[in-house]
Amino acid sequence: MKIRIQAQCRFRGARGCTLHKKMVLESIKHLAKYWTKRSARNSVRVAIAALLLTLLLISGAGAQVERVTVRLDGRAVFRIGETTELDATARSRQIERRMNRLLENSTAIAPAQVEPTQDGSQRVITVTGVPIVTVTESDAQDNLTTVDALSQQWSQALNAGFERASQRRLSPWGRFVTEVRSSIETAFGRLLESAIVIIPRALGLLQK
């Protein structure tokens, strides 16, 4: 926005000076409105950026969450809880790393298989011989079902996810676009999931 304000009165006579002063005042008003609107927009942007940064820092600092979504190419596959060895976040990252390693050779991925553990109380879901996730009693209780039923549900979800992911990687360009999009969607999905958990807790603390 270009607003020119002349500092000197170039009109002759009192009437000319009065008109000039009015022009200067109007110009100042327009300029003030412009900067006010611009500052308001910037303030909103700064507030949004600060909120996103805060959520990222909190989620990155290891905020305790009970269940976390496992994602493949940014899309939800299933939700898991913690085990005695890993919290929910670390467990989901481990599963996602294993799935992504299999996608490096997407044409060789076989259907998921369910195998019992040695004590028979848990089930291990493997894909192409790689153990992806162990289904525990806690997982079954969280989903209000049995270990065997949940194992079948998760294995079917993995098969569907791998089939979609493999189709997207039929060409080098398709693989590149999919992996870039997957990184963005996964980041936003995790941020949203953290916000859903953290914001109600923060509001609860403020109300105390």
Q: Are residues 174 and 125 in the same domain?
A: yes
CB 75 within 8 A of CB 185: yes
Q: Is 158 part of a structural domain of the chain?
A: yes
The pTM (predicted TM-score) of the whole model is 0.58
**Spans in the chain with pLDDT lower than 70:** 1-65, 174-178, 180, 182-183, 185-208
Neighbours of 13 (CB within 10 A): 9
- Mark 48-61 as b/e (b = at least 16 C-beta within 10 Å): eeeeeeebeebbee
- Cβ atoms within 10 A of the Cβ of 127, count? 20
What is the extent of the structural domain holding 102? 67-207
Average pLDDT of the chain to the nearest whole number: 75
Residue 1 lies in a domain: no
Look at the chain and report how many structural domains it folds into. Answer: 2
Task: Give the pLDDT confidence score for residue 208 in this predicted structure.
Answer: 60
